[in-house]
Amino acid sequence: MNFGDNYLVEVEDDETRAISDDRTETHNINISIASIVTAYVRVLMSEFKNNSMLKIYYTNTNSIYTDLNSDNINKIINNIVDPTKLDKLKLESVSIVAIFISPKMYYLKTQDLKEIYKVKGLTKDSLLTQKDFEALLNKNGIKTYQKVI
């Protein structure tokens, strides 16, 4: 196939050194596709963030935490929650306790009493509890939040 003055270059064995773990790893990524997906998700998320009928407690790139169930969200935004479709949202969990401290820092206790927490930069082997997150909400011994449920 004639490409004229252009060349088709295929990179094989794209090995890069990962600074964090000093290992050689192969990365198979496409920045164009990643950018398109991220832009599309931002458009979808704006439907939630700009909707006055939704009370959102926390959001990040790929999730929202709200006080509505899937059926009620689907009534507000036409059939946006469907666990069987790739371009729809799925209900990850229903929480009985939710503490949001800052971006990428939260604690959840689900209805089945599973504890989920995230602290950006903290290793996975660090064990935190609900009390640890509640302590971050205390100022001079007074809690600075209210229970929603």
**Angle, CA of 26, 28 and 34, to the nearest 5°:** 140
Domain range for 32 = 18-92
The 10s digit of each residue's pLDDT in 71-83 is 998 999 888 888 8
**Is the pTM here over 0.85, yes or no?**
no
The 10s digit of each residue's pLDDT in 18-42 is 555 556 666 677 888 888 888 888 8
Residue 115 phi/psi, 5-degree rounding, is: -100, 130
Are residues 85 and 29 located together in one domain of the fold? yes
pLDDT recorded at residue 136: 86
| Structural tokens at position 52 | 């006055």
Q: Given pLDDT bands bounded at 50, 70 and 90, which one contains residue 109?
A: very high
Question: Of the ranges 3-12, 82-91, 105-114, which is most confident?
Answer: 105-114
Are residues 119 and 143 located together in one domain of the fold? yes
| Structural tokens at position 131 | 């009390």
**CA separation for the pair 81, 72 (Å, rounded):** 10
97 assigned to some structural domain: yes
The total of structural domains in the chain comes to 2
